[in-house]
Structure 1
Amino acid sequence: MRIGFAGLGNMGGRIAACIVRAGHDVLGYDLRPEHVTAAGARPAGSVGEVAGHSDLVLLSLPDSRVVEAVVLGDDGVLAHARPGQIVVDLSTAAPDSTTRLHRLLAERGAAYLDAGISGGAAAAEKAALTLMVGGDAAVLDRARPALELFSAHIFHCGPSGAGHTAKLLNNFLNAIALSATAEVMVAGKKAGLDLETLLAVLNAGSGVNFATLHRFPKIIHGDYLKGGLTNTLMLKDVQLYVELVARLGVASPNSSGPLASFGLARALGYADEISNTVVDAIGDLSGGVRLHTGEEPAA
């Protein structure tokens, strides 16, 4: 199966590199050509070239607007789609956009899978991502050998759009855990608590979550685990979640917290920084607090 890739940024580049390390050729396109070569992929001149020369096309793009431009553009994926081809969208996208693209590609005989990913940059580098996939189960079976090159867990969530729906639900919980833990850690710092001890308490107690286990043990020492989701993208994901649950008729009283936190981070200049820097945005409004030594607030 010839593999093509469009969008080799923070996550796409790491995923493509996993495929290359496994011994497979990847034809890649990115607006920044250096991303393609850094991942070890063969550079393509356009999205159309990727789609025209690949049996499996992987997409890793910022949002539905960009996904639609890449798929529906004059020299996009749809223009080169053909029977038997599989397109896998690894982006975090709006499910209604996903189902529309699925229908359009199906008219050309091509299959479209929405495959939300979880695990962050660290899991991507280790080929240990979790995939939540929407679309035809038989198509997933055909694509699975390629997807297993960078994933440790693959879940078929249902028909088209189900994967991106599951991704939005997952990312909302991720956003709540990160923003709430950031607030707690700033409070702990200002209260004079030892942050290593505080994390040990949280991880042995009912406050344990992904952020306390995997993010803040690094952050308190100044390692923000750069390379993952930015504050702008995290805010976008939460907004997509709010739109989703509104259409479903589900009340969302808990969405105001992460909307405020990541909106604050974007407003204070952390828009394109990894979302873990939300703790610095909260610290800025709390007297210039930094969790880690070496960057303490001025007296």
Structure 2
Amino acid sequence: MKPVGFIGLGNMGGRMTACLTRSGASVVGFDTRLELAAALGAEPAAMPREVAERADIVLMSLPDSTVVEAVMNGDAGVLAGCRAGQVVVDLSTADPASTRRLHGLLADRGVDYLDAGISGGAAAAEKGALTLMVGGTVSALDAVRPTLEAFSSKIFHVGESGSGHATKLLNNFLNAVSLAATAEVMVAAKKAGLDLATVLEVLNASSGVNFATLNRFPRIIEGDYLEGGLTNTLMMKDVTLYAGYVSQLGVASLNSAGPLASFGLARGLGYADRISNTVVDAIGDISGGVRVADQSTTEDEEQS
């Protein structure tokens, strides 16, 4: 049996690759950091083209459409090595218009292209419990479903090519709004002298409940920022991509200004490559140097 191909072995791709190898799958992997493949138990490939030549199923987890297109095109790219009957699955956060263009190029070669947006973050990837929203043909999804189930617990077929990445942009935008807004509220609660754990209990039993109040801030106020997830730079990229996408649809994006300002602030204040949860520290910085995290816990972790 041919190995599964995986291109992009970073924060999320590396965790998904580890799930595959733990499940017993043979994986051939490529990343610009050539040492990553072997560290994850995968056979290293010298270029994306080699991955396509050696695998029937090729998975990609890359930062954005610019990188996806670079990996697909050129003499060393996936298109140069692909053949009829293959399935390429793009697990990146990408521009749906670019996705549809690539779908057409691969279809001309008899290759199915699925765009599979992912949700759940690093923790879910680690456990193999991601949620996937997949665009493309049902038959192609059925063919690769056993492979995808190695790192995902919920797989939704959401429509034709581009639909998976479109759904991912919508989801990521709501994630950005709730995270940025909750960060602001927690800084305000701290300055008001409120007990943050109690505030979170109230929010989670009330109409203000959201993913950030349920899953992020109970840990953040204890000094655990859940490192390893989406950075402020990547969150800013996703919100910008969302705003451009809905503009193409003719939808007024009245609520994108908040997260763009919040994550832009975080980037400007030196948190660009830190997990997006640190947006609360950026807001705290310009609000009088507020920290919602338990400082004694944070200092203990830094010393250990």
TM-score for the superposition, normalised by structure 1? 0.97
Over 3 Å counting, the alpha-carbon distance change for 1:254 and 1:295 in structure 2 is farther
**1:33 to partner: Cα distance:** 2.4
**What does the per-residue CA deviation read over 1:82-124, in whole Å, with 9 as the maximum and x for residues that have no partner?**
0001100000000000000000011111110000000000000
**1:213 to partner: Cα distance:** 0.6
Partner residue, 1:36: 37
Contact 1:203–1:212 at 8 Å: present in 2 too?
yes
Pair 1:281 & 2:282 matched: yes
**1:49 to partner: Cα distance:** 1.1
- Root-mean-square deviation (CA, aligned residues, Å) is 1.1
Partner residue, 1:219: 220
* SS of residue matched to 2:110: coil
**What does the per-residue CA deviation read over 1:134-190, in whole Å, with 9 as the maximum and x for residues that have no partner?**
001110000111011110100001000000000000000000000000000111111
- Structure 1: tracts of 5 or more residues without a match: none
Distance, in Å, in 2 between the alignment partners of 1:4 and 1:52 is 9
**1:251 to partner: Cα distance:** 1.1
Partner residue, 1:97: 98
* SS of residue matched to 1:251: coil
* SS of residue matched to 2:295: coil
Contact 2:49–2:82 at 8 Å: present in 1 too?
no
**1:57 to partner: Cα distance:** 0.5
**What does the per-residue CA deviation read over 1:202-251, in whole Å, with 9 as the maximum and x for residues that have no partner?**
11111110001111111111111111111111111111111111111111
Distance, in Å, in 1 between the alignment partners of 2:123 and 2:170 is 21
| Stretches (4+) displaced over 6 A | none
**1:65 to partner: Cα distance:** 0.3
Distance, in Å, in 2 between the alignment partners of 1:25 and 1:260 is 44
Contact 2:180–2:259 at 8 Å: present in 1 too?
yes
Contact 1:81–1:109 at 8 Å: present in 2 too?
no
Q: List aligned pairs for 1:40-51, cutoff 5 A.
A: 40-51=41-52
Partner residue, 1:166: 167
Distance, in Å, in 2 between the alignment partners of 1:123 and 1:181 is 22
Q: List aligned pairs for 1:32-181, cutoff 5 A.
A: 32-181=33-182
* SS of residue matched to 2:290: coil
* SS of residue matched to 1:155: strand
Partner residue, 2:188: 187
Distance, in Å, in 1 between the alignment partners of 2:110 and 2:181 is 46
Distance, in Å, in 2 between the alignment partners of 1:293 and 1:148 is 38
**What does the per-residue CA deviation read over 1:45-80, in whole Å, with 9 as the maximum and x for residues that have no partner?**
111111110000000000000000001122100011
Distance, in Å, in 1 between the alignment partners of 2:151 and 2:18 is 9
Contact 1:28–1:43 at 8 Å: present in 2 too?
yes
Distance, in Å, in 2 between the alignment partners of 1:191 and 1:49 is 58
Q: List aligned pairs for 1:19-34, cutoff 5 A.
A: 19-34=20-35
* SS of residue matched to 1:82: coil
| Corresponding letter in the other structure for 1:186 | V
Contact 1:92–1:168 at 8 Å: present in 2 too?
yes
Partner residue, 2:269: 268
* SS of residue matched to 1:288: coil
Distance, in Å, in 2 between the alignment partners of 1:288 and 1:40 is 44
Q: List aligned pairs for 1:195-234, cutoff 5 A.
A: 195-234=196-235
- Structure 2: tracts of 5 or more residues without a match: 298-304
Pair 1:235 & 2:236 matched: yes
Contact 2:4–2:26 at 8 Å: present in 1 too?
yes
Distance, in Å, in 2 between the alignment partners of 1:127 and 1:56 is 18
| Corresponding letter in the other structure for 2:100 | T
Contact 1:10–1:228 at 8 Å: present in 2 too?
yes
Q: Percent identity?
A: 70
Partner residue, 1:254: 255
Distance, in Å, in 1 between the alignment partners of 2:294 and 2:220 is 11
| Corresponding letter in the other structure for 1:133 | V
Contact 1:238–1:255 at 8 Å: present in 2 too?
yes
* SS of residue matched to 1:217: helix
> Across the two proteins, how many residue pairs are aligned to each other?
296
* SS of residue matched to 1:5: strand
